[in-house]
């Protein structure tokens, strides 16, 4: 039996106080519908620290265990070595500049 780990990525570029509750609900629904029995991890990418409402207390075990990691794009601006963050930075460029 092949054991795989599912990876979920949530990119958040606006303030959303329900982001964590919604993410964990969507993960649970996905795992249930697919009848997935393996491991999973999630990453949440916020454009700025100010957009993170903070982990609700009932989900902090996911963060403490390393199952969920939080990243902030503003912390990685100017990093030349990370192509992933360079691509995601393109999402924050206004449409007028990208045309």
Selection from 93, 48, 88 nearest residue 70 by Cα? 48
Q: Per this entry, what is the length of the chain? A: 99
The pLDDT of residue 75 is 81
Instruction: Please give the model's pTM, rounded to 2 decimal places.
Output: 0.75
Would you say residue 94 has pLDDT above 60? no
pLDDT digits (tens, 9 = 90+) for 35-90: 998 999 999 999 899 999 999 999 999 999 989 999 888 887 666 556 566 666 55
Distance from C-alpha of 37 to C-alpha of 15, rounded to nearest angstrom: 32
Q: Where are the domains of the chain?
A: 5-73
């Amino acid at each position: 039996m092949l054991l795989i780990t599912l990876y979920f990525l949530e990119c958040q570029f606006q303030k959303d106080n329900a982001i964590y509750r919604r993410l964990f609900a969507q993960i649970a629904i996905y795992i249930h519908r697919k009848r997935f029995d393996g491991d999973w991890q999630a990453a949440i990418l916020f454009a700025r620290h100010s957009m993170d409402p903070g982990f609700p207390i009932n989900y902090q075990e996911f963060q403490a265990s390393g199952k969920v990691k939080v990243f902030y794009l503003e912390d990685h601006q100017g990093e030349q070595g990370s192509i992933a963050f360079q691509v995601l930075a393109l999402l924050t460029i206004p449409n007028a500049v990208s045309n």
